[in-house]
Chains A and B, each alone.
Chain A
Amino acid sequence: GAVVSQHPSWVICKSGTSVKIECRSLDFQATTMFWYRQFPKQSLMLMATSNEGSKATYEQGVEKDKFLINHASLTLSTLTVTSAHPEDSSFYICSATGGLQPQHFGDGTRLSIL
């Protein structure tokens, strides 16, 4: 089946640093990628929708200058958490879709800010 790879799977960094998360679709062209945030024992909260070659569309309440999204190719989207603080600690998950493909999810990135 379709595979979406997300990297890194786990990252710990100091407060104030920026962290980049990559999301790759390995066997189909992802015209649209989504970025989610998930807190423990909660559902997935959509942060933004990213269409290849276009600016991302952010959900209400999500700071676009805080969470930078780039989708420059049909197989790669990146999420950069800028000047990360402890409250940004969370599980971040991407998904990808394109053509007739349903949304396929990566295995997430657990971000811990000290």
Chain B
Amino acid sequence: GENVEQHPSTLSVQEGDSAVIKCTYSDSASNYFPWYKQELGKGPQLIIDIRSNVGEKKDQRIAVTLNKTAKHFSLHITETQPEDSAVYFCAASMGNQGGKLIFGQGTELSVKP
């Protein structure tokens, strides 16, 4: 079955710097890759997603890139702010946006003011 590896497990940056989180997946049939932000005591919140027919997608300070050949995708956050501090999860699905998600292990991002 599908396996998603995520790194780093923790990431600390200064406010204003960029943060990059990387994920790899094992099954080339995966076609949908969302990123979620989870704050303490809350459920994950979708922040951006990308489909396998697109190489890059951007939404203000957040961007995601996908390399299907290498089977990896990355989350880029620019101009980080303290409120970006949270745990971020990548995921992969073979059933588009409605399919079962396989999650990475999570990255705890800390943005220091």
Whether A associates with B in a native complex is yes
Q: Is the CB of A102 within 8 A of B34?
A: yes
Whether A103 lies near B103 (C-beta < 8 A) is: no
What is the interface residue range for chain B against chain A?
A: 10 to 19
Task: Evaluate contact between A103 and B34: CB separation under 8 angstroms.
Answer: yes
B98 and A32 contacting across the interface, CB-CB below 8 Å: yes
A49 touches B98 (CB 8 A): no
Contact pick for A43, options B41, B49, B97, B105, CB 8 Å? B105
* B46 contacts partner chain A, Cβ-Cβ < 8 Å: yes
Q: List 21 A-B contacts (CB under 8 A).
A: A6-B43, A31-B98, A32-B98, A42-B105, A43-B103, A43-B106, A44-B103, A46-B101, A95-B43, A97-B97, A98-B98, A100-B97, A101-B98, A102-B49, A102-B98, A103-B46, A105-B44, A105-B45, A106-B43, A108-B41, A108-B43
Binding site for B on A (CB under 8 A): 4, 6, 31-32, 34, 42-44, 46, 49, 93, 95, 97-98, 100-108, 110
Mark B residues whose CB is within 8 Å of A: 34, 36, 41-46, 49, 89, 97-98, 100-101, 103-106
